[in-house]
Amino acid sequence: VTASVNPGGDVAVLVAAAGSGLRLGPGPPKALRLLRGEPLLVHAVRRLLGCPEVGCLVVAAPPGHEEWVRDLVGPGVTVVSGGAHRRASVAAALAAVPERFGIVLVHDAARALTPPAQVAAVAAAVRAGNDAVIPVLPVVDTMTQVGPSGEVLGTLDRSGLRAVQTPQGFRRAVLTAAHAAAHTAAAGPAATDDAGLVERLGVRVYTVPGSELALKITTPLDLAAAELLLGA
Ligand code: CTP
Ligand code: MG
């Protein structure tokens, strides 16, 4: 990536890119898989650097691939080694953010086609005074809760449900506190994102509209869909 961060930007973005992509099938780590000839991570980073508010970008790379990732993203982007699970990768990236950044966004490399406007909307909502902000979309399928033997326990009211995307934006102190608490917390249901950790602190999380382009590339079908979206 030839672009770099904007020295005047007040937002730091952490990119979780250390996953292996098991659901995508055999191959290199997911962030390094090619989409129209370029790694997913390159697509994601280029879009993030297209946002003038981004003054710091830290990528959590798959362990063992740090040098390759450094070459891909260029000198304006910080690269750290990711951890064994997503939360550890985000914590490692957060530790590399200089003190002066008061707003931190956490993004999935797997959401490689997320429009810069979505990044800007999340950052703006944090700047406007919200401690935590997530982009969301209405869910299209009916959602039902299922017990251990496969029996339906109860169907949820879809109108109140949303699918949660990234980037998720936070006042830096809130994100730091959430990760510190998660590190020491007793075992409970694992939070799958950062807003889930922040909720446990009792902090109110605010929503902004997400986008279909911000889909998380998880399965081979998603990768094929992303190829089509890029061509469109
Ligand atoms: N991630 C990470 N560190 C990990 C695991 C996941 O930084 N130890 C990142 C992934 O790189 C991805 C994001 O978290 O950008 C969302 O995770 P997911 O879509 O589950 O990616 P993978 O874990 O790579 O995929 P899978 O679960 O299919 O193995
Ligand atoms: Mg995973």
What is the per-residue pLDDT across 32-70, written as a single tens digit (0 to 9) for each?
A: 999 999 999 999 999 999 999 999 999 999 999 999 999
CA distance 209 to 48: 18
Percent of the chain with pLDDT over 90: 95
Residue 85 CA: nearest ligand 1 atom is 8
Cα angle: 36, vertex 1, 124; to 5 degrees: 100
Out of 40, 108, 217, mutate this one to test ligand 1's pocket (max ligand atoms within 8 Å of CB): namely 108
* CA–CA gap between residue 224 and residue 217 (Å, rounded): 9
User: What tens digit of pLDDT does each residue of 165-193 get?
Assistant: 999 999 999 999 999 999 887 766 778 89
Is the whole-model pTM more than 0.85?
Answer: yes
Assess whether the C-beta atom of 171 lies below 6 angstroms from ligand 1: no
User: 108-123: per-residue pLDDT in tens?
Assistant: 999 999 999 999 999 9
153, 209, 179, 187: CA torsion to nearest 10: 0
Pairing of strands 54-61, 132-138: unpaired
Check if the beta carbon of residue 93 is closer than 8 Å to that of residue 80: yes
16 alpha carbon, closest ligand: 1
Q: Is the CB of 61 under 6 A from ligand 1?
A: no
Atom of ligand 1 nearest to the CA of 84: 8
Q: Does 103 have pLDDT greater than 80?
A: yes
Q: What's the confidence (pLDDT) of residue 188?
A: 66
CA separation, residue 223 to residues 27, 40, 47, 58, 96 (Å): 13, 10, 18, 24, 30
What is the radius of gyration, based on Cα positions, of the chain? 17
Nearest CA to 27 out of 226, 231, 223, 230 is that of 223
Tokens, residue 131: 């401690």
